[in-house]
Chain A
């Protein structure tokens, strides 16, 4: 019954995804770990764990704590580094044919551009997603992603060294996300993705210490969904480039909510930990939802929220 629904979405820079459901960076490994549980090719795409110029060990534990309807993490961007990613992970993903978005992380602008440059000649990179917003590393992304001027200049520099579609991932830890989105657009981004995690902290009151070794961490999960929806809605009215929305998606209903707010595609994050098969199920349920609601093309939903626009 849902076979006739058109799910393809164009997300800028000439990239069309077979459906709007991707998986979020840091919650899906390098994709291959999920093969026992789902068919990668049924997904709109996968966004791999943030890649840095050199491998990173990450933070000491505890790195995680559950919070009401969410979780807080301070992983510290543990990853294999760009060289091993290109040698081991990307070829396997290329072989699968799944749209692979490479999330790029750097502790400074040169680091970040170094990774973009290494990726530039590679085939099988559907898009590059610049993580300017990770709140987890003391010296890292937060400052960069908070400054519209820095966002515009680094996006422009990245744009100059790669032809691959370029996404800028926005942090919610700013006073105006419309402004940072506009800066990414001005710098030449093909799309913006939002939101990254919100800064949070949990204190163990008996020990009078933060639960996480690092102190604060990034909040994700359903708890942040209303914040993310409001921000997508705001950004949709500010920019012309496509929006990839995320924050607390656990089912197809949530995907529809993001699309109505203005997202062209979405990423499923924390929910992958709960159920490694969830992303594929959401794809099927989204098609069924559209069919049941007389929606022939999922693009009809994008930005279609009605009523007060404040």
Chain B
């Protein structure tokens, strides 16, 4: 059940190029949030911000005494009015916070994983700020994180935020930049396709988060090869908990005419790529 709270800012780190990491003291949410779920955050004065903004929880961290998770870290990019206001918050300032919200990633049924050798290969695909969804997944995966590959794309090196962190926590990181400033030049879908084609028989699961065009390309690649694929979607949200009906995407196979749309905030944000129209 989501918590509706106010939370204090613990840290605001400027990562350069408009990217920030905001850490909030929110033990209830830190303990319960699962990778791929999100929170709605807003300023406490409604006159300054009528509509809260959705953010993935990038990381959870324990309190000063270690132990249970006590803080959540939000990795965000400044793009408009709301994120500009958030970027000015200082330690001690308070934010309104609602979460955990939505359906996160899900792992293959362990019963189907017959021993380490047959383990499903997890491939994570991030475009730009879409990487914000993956640190928590890697944290949750524990030792298995070391057997994942992250395909990480951006316009340039500056968009590959937390790259060092990912290199330390994922098994392997393959980068691609449009300007060629890091890794292969071009879109991240090229190395992903090459990887899928190199060993086509392998059981895999692709998990993707990033711009819509990237998600569509990743989903097409995977569907064409019969590789299961989960995509984390974005739509404009007003409430985040299923009542405004603003955040819908179209179902691929609606059961009826009035069943054409699903809510990203409630049925998603993570969907099986086969469920929805990308």
What A residues does B235 contact at CB under 8 A? 61-62
Smallest CB separation, A52 vs chain B (Å): 10
**Contact at A64–B246, with CB atoms within 8 Å?**
yes
Smallest CB separation, A194 vs chain B (Å): 21
Those of B235-268 within 8 Å (CB) of chain A: 235-239, 241-250, 256-261
A184 vs B169: C-alpha distance when bound (angstroms): 66
**Contact at B42–A274, with CB atoms within 8 Å?**
yes
Smallest CB separation, A223 vs chain B (Å): 9
A206 vs B157: C-alpha distance when bound (angstroms): 27
Other-chain residue from B4, B51, B250, B261 in contact with A273 (beta carbon distance below 8 A): B51
What A residues does B4 contact at CB under 8 A? 36-37, 275-277
Other-chain residue from B241, B244, B247, B256 in contact with A27 (beta carbon distance below 8 A): B244
Asked if A28 CB lies within 8 Å of chain B CBs, one says: yes
Asked if A250 CB lies within 8 Å of chain B CBs, one says: yes
A75 vs B263: C-alpha distance when bound (angstroms): 12
**Contact at A29–B46, with CB atoms within 8 Å?**
no
**Contact at B245–A61, with CB atoms within 8 Å?**
no
Other-chain residue from A27, A56, A274, A276 in contact with B50 (beta carbon distance below 8 A): A274
Smallest CB separation, A200 vs chain B (Å): 14
Asked if A271 CB lies within 8 Å of chain B CBs, one says: yes
What B residues does A54 contact at CB under 8 A? 258
**Contact at B236–A276, with CB atoms within 8 Å?**
no
What A residues does B2 contact at CB under 8 A? 36
What B residues does A159 contact at CB under 8 A? none
Asked if B65 CB lies within 8 Å of chain A CBs, one says: no
A36 vs B242: C-alpha distance when bound (angstroms): 13
Those of B210-258 within 8 Å (CB) of chain A: 235-239, 241-250, 256-258
Asked if A2 CB lies within 8 Å of chain B CBs, one says: no
What A residues does B242 contact at CB under 8 A? 29, 33
Other-chain residue from B241, B256, B259 in contact with A33 (beta carbon distance below 8 A): B241
Sort chain B's interface into a size bin. Answer: 20 to 34
**Contact at B261–A29, with CB atoms within 8 Å?**
no
Asked if A210 CB lies within 8 Å of chain B CBs, one says: no
Other-chain residue from A60, A250, A272 in contact with B243 (beta carbon distance below 8 A): A272
Asked if A13 CB lies within 8 Å of chain B CBs, one says: no
**Contact at B245–A75, with CB atoms within 8 Å?**
yes
Those of B16-74 within 8 Å (CB) of chain A: 42, 46-47, 49-52
A54 vs B4: C-alpha distance when bound (angstroms): 34
Known A56-B258, A273-B238, A276-B4; contact A221-B243, beta-carbon cutoff 8 A? no
**Contact at A71–B238, with CB atoms within 8 Å?**
yes
**Contact at A273–B243, with CB atoms within 8 Å?**
yes
A251 vs B42: C-alpha distance when bound (angstroms): 17
Known A73-B244, A273-B239; contact A66-B96, beta-carbon cutoff 8 A? no
- In the assembled complex, 22 residue pairs joining A and B whose CB atoms fall closer than 8 Å, in A order, are A28-B243, A29-B242, A33-B241, A36-B2, A36-B4, A37-B4, A57-B257, A61-B247, A61-B249, A64-B247, A65-B236, A69-B50, A70-B50, A73-B238, A73-B246, A78-B248, A78-B258, A221-B50, A251-B46, A271-B50, A273-B243, A275-B46
B interface with A by C-beta (< 8 Å): 1-2, 4, 42, 46-47, 49-52, 96, 98, 235-239, 241-250, 256-261
Given A64-B244, A78-B248, A273-B243, 12 further pairs, Cβ under 8 A: A55-B258, A61-B246, A61-B248, A64-B247, A65-B236, A250-B47, A273-B238, A273-B239, A274-B46, A274-B96, A275-B96, A276-B241
A interface with B by C-beta (< 8 Å): 26-29, 33-34, 36-37, 54-58, 60-66, 69-71, 73, 75, 78, 81, 221-222, 250-251, 270-277
The 6 A-B pairs at the shortest CB distance, nearest first, are namely A55-B258, A64-B246, A29-B243, A273-B239, A273-B238, A57-B260
